[in-house]
Structure 1
Amino acid sequence: MLEQQPMQNKQQFIQQALSAINQRDYVAAHSACVTLIKHYGDDAEAYFLLGIVHIEILQIQKAVRLLNKSAELTPEPQTYAYLTKCYALLGNMPAAVDAASRCPVSSLDKPLALDTVGVSLSRVGLHEEALKYFKAALAKAPDNASFYYNFAVSAKFAGQFDTARQAFEQAIALKPDYYQAHYALSDLGGISDTNNHIERLSVLHAKTTDIDGKLHLSHALAKEYEAFKEYDKAFNVLSEAKQAKRRQFTAVEQHYDAIFNWLQAQQPAVSSANQGDPSSQPIFVLGMPRSGTTLVERIITSHSQVASGGELQDFGLAVKELAKTPSNQVLDLPTLQAAEQLSFAELGSRYLERTSFLLNNKKYLVDKLPFNFFYVGLIRRALPNAKIVCLLRDPMDTCIGNFRQLFSLSSPYFAYAYDLESTGRFYKNFYSLVHHWQNLFPHNVRLQSYEELVTRPAEEIPALIDFCGLSWEAACLQVEKNKAPVSTASKVQVREAINTRSIGRWRQYAAHTAKLEALLADLKAN
């Protein structure tokens, strides 16, 4: 008869789980933790490691439950650090902020935990607070390239551009093929004969085969070529890399056509039988990316009664949560269709609850997520007193701006921007849809011309402020004095006074835009 092996003690199970996590063997890690709990009862460290396992396999909701269980047993700061990460990933900003408050910088001794909280706070737009965690992480681990990169990103969004440049260079010195750092450095601008990275970028670009790495480097090179007015080089390096990336996505046009066509056929009205929340607190600023939404947000939030929420995912997430559709995408046709059956009062209240902590004792909050234009019909019913400002910029400038922008590579929502004609088709659908919304809701939806805004600010801005139901304040004309952090691609431009330099910028690429111009000809005629 075989002799039975003695049961491992708790610490042996924990070490087994840690070793498995380090080897990315999440099945073995999970088994070790579950076996520990089965034989020894509830254990805070075992639940913590189970939470880490579920973060790694992207089961964030379950990770939250496991980490909260760990915190109930033993409220360790490190547990709250990873709860901060989970809530930030879920877009639950109040919960992320609350979790972060339970793991202050002084309570964390592991650099990875400090960096984790910093990244999470940066994700929810709290860049100044994030910088404190990054500085502490770097003090403990000064040779970590990722920590320098994360620190630099928050410094950039907080307007600390020189600090960001130095940190990006540190990241590259530690990791020469750090593609994201190369792009972020070039994106900060300040390119000149004596301060450019074209030679370094070109060498790395030539030997890089990774598609995403090539795309980052191509965007970096394009930024620097543009600084020297070498627009053909910029377009060609972008076009080649974007074509390779586009092949990873299928049926992009069909996906969006189905959504646009369905929304265009809707005739939603506010029903007295299903009235939304009556709050007039939210002001939605939306439109195509690169159309001026950040500028309009800065104008409105220069008002003393208006807070900035940045690009909030909360309305779309509230729709998804209440619709309970099984897909892993927040925005898709089944979710929009299911949302027609929601309680709009509950939807409006859910959104207000998720965003109320951003008010900072002010009366109104600007939510400037561009793609909220898909939700205008739902916003109108869930929040019938909300004001909605939709930016319209010249079609060619908008499409070239989208093509030139490096959006999130992991998001399927921006796949249209890897091809100029696909971008033009998306714009035409957008243009038709927002005019549809404006016709349905003329008192709640303002179509704001970007060109009119920057050429005639003294007339347009007072009209915009009046539309939002605000009293006039002269500070709204001086956006360059608005010092709030900016977490968008416009982080440099919007810190300048209002100007017209971006009008007609597409013409720099006119040698490559004949097909796009033909596609958009009927819109330009309008």
Structure 2
Amino acid sequence: MTNNTIQTLHRSAQVALNNRDYVEAHRLCVKIIELQADHADAYFLLGIINFEVGQVKKATKLIEKAISFKGLAEYFAHLAKCYSLMGDMSSVVKIIEHVPVSRISKPLTLDTIGVSLSHVGDHARALPYFEKALLAEKSNPGFYYNFGVSSKFAGLFQQANEAFESAIRLQPKYYQAHFALSDLGGVTKESNHISRLEGLLDDKAHPDNLLHLGHALAKEYEAIGDFDKSFDILNRVKSRKVSTIQYGFSDDKALFDFVRDTKFIPSKDSACQSSQPIIIVGMPRSGTTLVERILSNHTQVHSCGELQDFGVAVKELANTGSSKVLDMETLQAAQHLNFKTLGERYIERTQAVSGGSEHFIDKLPFNFFYIDLIRKALPKAKIICMLRDPMDTCIGNYRQLFSINSPYYHYAYSLKTIGLFYAEFYKLVYHKAAENSANLMLCDYQELVEDPRNKVSELLSFCDLQWQEQCLHAETNTAPVSTASKVQVREPINTKSVGRWKKFRPHTDALEALLTEKGVLDS
């Protein structure tokens, strides 16, 4: 009788979950566990419910509980997805070891694992999962899109193009696929997608869909030399997005003020003495990926991409109750941490992905908020802060479609807030550089691309690395790229993007005036 009851409850819970009736599904799963305490799927379904309502940490614990009773591939796949969304790359890598591609037959499970690996930047490992998913199910547009994304970051541009077109054929209003296709480049006046994109553009559409379409059109207009239309469409879709978010620059300003005004005092405690990390920071679109590609072409350096691990380690040890990893409450609490423990926790978190090399690169741009914490926790780590022409940087941020759901990029929907954000960044990094820290280097992008041999030599010397000629040829670096620069960094070092902002005049006049007023540009 009990088994029949549990089976009935289980089927009802699955139906409720499929219908997005999370309250009823939760009630039924709890009832199952009351009758059978080791019912793995009830715990798994509870994990999925919590994941769907945004409780990722709780979901993780529940799925781990399910795995303790039954190690199904589907459970491991969703656990990897949870950890990937938390930016815990090392945990994702460990979990994937339990679910090699040869062990899995379900297309959705294969795709879920591929997405998890893609989220943490391991596109080479993700591709076989996507390929097998597509072999089993050729009519799922999402599978083609996910396969295309990893193909793009792995440098397989033709393969990515075909995958995005397949997704669009199956689902003509697959907005993300349209943007991803335009983002591949290769657009000319004779060969473009402008007509198709304009046919989809509808101001009644969801603002996020408009962002994807608008950015796709902006890229294509720019490629054919119509810079006015490119900027106009960005203004149109970004203003729609701004109206839907609660963002005030004052929150970001408070972070900058706190970090700048907190005097750097070396930790009295012993710090972590690892010299493995090379941490590259700077504004997005400032050349951080180029420097990563240069340095990771050295035989003693492995790139881990944009790791979340330092911020997550700070959050874990600060143990603040706020929902964000980076916020005032956490930064304030972090001033009182044991910095040796912080450094060791960071190194521990990165071991699964650091490749066993003598040095590894962590290239998360916003780690500039943690410059002092890094110097206290890891005094032997090298920190390279990229600086690029302020106007090129700000216009680059405006032209870029960042993660739509991330609150950390809300500043990028308005030229004014981008300018304010840059001005604070500018003051912060020059203030930190004035402290004459031996392990902090400011690197000018324009100087790097105009005089690569000398500037690459300076970078290598700063990182205590011997000269290797291949570092001058970042385009020969075959590692996947998980940033907006995936196409550009596969070209030889060049000056093509220097001064690009001038093509958008007079749309840039107000930004130029703002940066002049803030003392960033000369009057």
Same fold (TM over 0.5): yes
Aligned to 1:419: 414
Aligned to 2:244: 248
Q: Deviations over 1:239-274 (max 9, x none)?
A: 111111112233421111111111111112213x32
Q: In the alignment, which of 429, 446, 450 is matched to residue 455 of structure 1? A: 450
Mapping for residues 51-450 of structure 1, pairs under 5 Å: 51-206=47-202, 208-271=204-267, 273-450=268-445
Q: Deviations over 1:360-411 (max 9, x none)?
A: 2210010010000011011110111111000000000000000000011111
CA distance in 1: counterparts of 2:3 and 2:101, whole angstroms: 39
For the residue of structure 2 that corresponds to 1:390, the secondary structure is strand
CA distance in 2: counterparts of 1:374 and 1:322, whole angstroms: 17
| Contact kept in structure 2, 1:48 and 1:70, CA below 8 Å | yes
Q: Which amino acid aligns with 2:378?
A: L
CA distance in 2: counterparts of 1:63 and 1:274, whole angstroms: 36
Q: In the alignment, which of 15, 31, 34 is matched to residue 38 of structure 1? A: 34
* Percent of residue pairs identical: 51
Mapping for residues 471-490 of structure 1, pairs under 5 Å: 471-490=466-485
| Contact kept in structure 1, 2:303 and 2:360, CA below 8 Å | yes
Structure 1 residue 7 displacement after superposition: 8.4
CA distance in 2: counterparts of 1:412 and 1:248, whole angstroms: 12
Q: Deviations over 1:190-247 (max 9, x none)?
A: 0013320000000101465221111111100010001111000000010111111112
| Contact kept in structure 2, 1:307 and 1:358, CA below 8 Å | no
CA distance in 2: counterparts of 1:193 and 1:268, whole angstroms: 54
CA distance in 1: counterparts of 2:102 and 2:141, whole angstroms: 22
CA distance in 2: counterparts of 1:80 and 1:316, whole angstroms: 25
Q: 1:525 to 1:110 in 2, by over 3 A?
A: same
Is 1:25 matched up with 2:16? no
Is 1:467 matched up with 2:456? no
| Contact kept in structure 2, 1:287 and 1:391, CA below 8 Å | yes
CA-based RMSD: 1.5
CA distance in 1: counterparts of 2:2 and 2:468, whole angstroms: 76
TM-score by length of 1: 0.97
Q: Which amino acid aligns with 2:59?
A: A
Structure 1 residue 359 displacement after superposition: 2.3
CA distance in 2: counterparts of 1:286 and 1:112, whole angstroms: 36
Structure 1 residue 525 displacement after superposition: 2.6
For the residue of structure 2 that corresponds to 1:434, the secondary structure is helix
- Of residues 336-345 and 81-90 in structure 1, the stretch that sits farther from structure 2 once superposed is 81-90
CA distance in 2: counterparts of 1:61 and 1:418, whole angstroms: 29
CA distance in 2: counterparts of 1:289 and 1:263, whole angstroms: 19
CA distance in 2: counterparts of 1:206 and 1:48, whole angstroms: 40
Structure 1 residue 64 displacement after superposition: 2.0
CA distance in 1: counterparts of 2:491 and 2:220, whole angstroms: 21
How many residues are matched? Answer: 521
CA distance in 1: counterparts of 2:425 and 2:134, whole angstroms: 44
CA distance in 2: counterparts of 1:207 and 1:247, whole angstroms: 13
TM-score by length of 2: 0.97
Structure 1 residue 128 displacement after superposition: 1.2
Is 1:523 matched up with 2:520? yes
For the residue of structure 2 that corresponds to 1:365, the secondary structure is strand
For the residue of structure 2 that corresponds to 1:84, the secondary structure is helix
For the residue of structure 2 that corresponds to 1:245, the secondary structure is helix
CA distance in 1: counterparts of 2:48 and 2:205, whole angstroms: 32
CA distance in 1: counterparts of 2:255 and 2:88, whole angstroms: 26
CA distance in 2: counterparts of 1:254 and 1:398, whole angstroms: 21
| Contact kept in structure 2, 1:242 and 1:418, CA below 8 Å | yes
- Of residues 231-240 and 71-80 in structure 1, the stretch that sits farther from structure 2 once superposed is 71-80
Q: Which amino acid aligns with 1:411?
A: S
Q: Which amino acid aligns with 1:385?
A: K
Q: Which amino acid aligns with 1:14?
A: H
For the residue of structure 2 that corresponds to 1:524, the secondary structure is coil
Q: Which amino acid aligns with 1:266?
A: T
CA distance in 2: counterparts of 1:388 and 1:361, whole angstroms: 20
| Contact kept in structure 1, 2:88 and 2:308, CA below 8 Å | no
CA distance in 1: counterparts of 2:10 and 2:214, whole angstroms: 45
| Contact kept in structure 2, 1:358 and 1:365, CA below 8 Å | no
- Of residues 111-120 and 240-249 in structure 1, the stretch that sits farther from structure 2 once superposed is 240-249
CA distance in 1: counterparts of 2:374 and 2:35, whole angstroms: 51
CA distance in 2: counterparts of 1:364 and 1:357, whole angstroms: 14
- Of residues 345-354 and 78-87 in structure 1, the stretch that sits farther from structure 2 once superposed is 78-87
Q: Deviations over 1:41-91 (max 9, x none)?
A: 311222222222222122222222222222221222221111111111222
Structure 1 residue 278 displacement after superposition: 0.9
| Contact kept in structure 2, 1:267 and 1:440, CA below 8 Å | no
For the residue of structure 1 that corresponds to 2:237, the secondary structure is helix
Aligned to 2:486: 491
- Of residues 60-69 and 425-434 in structure 1, the stretch that sits farther from structure 2 once superposed is 60-69
Q: Deviations over 1:279-301 (max 9, x none)?
A: 11101001000000000000110
| Contact kept in structure 2, 1:283 and 1:387, CA below 8 Å | yes
Q: Which amino acid aligns with 1:301?
A: S
Q: Which amino acid aligns with 2:189?
A: D
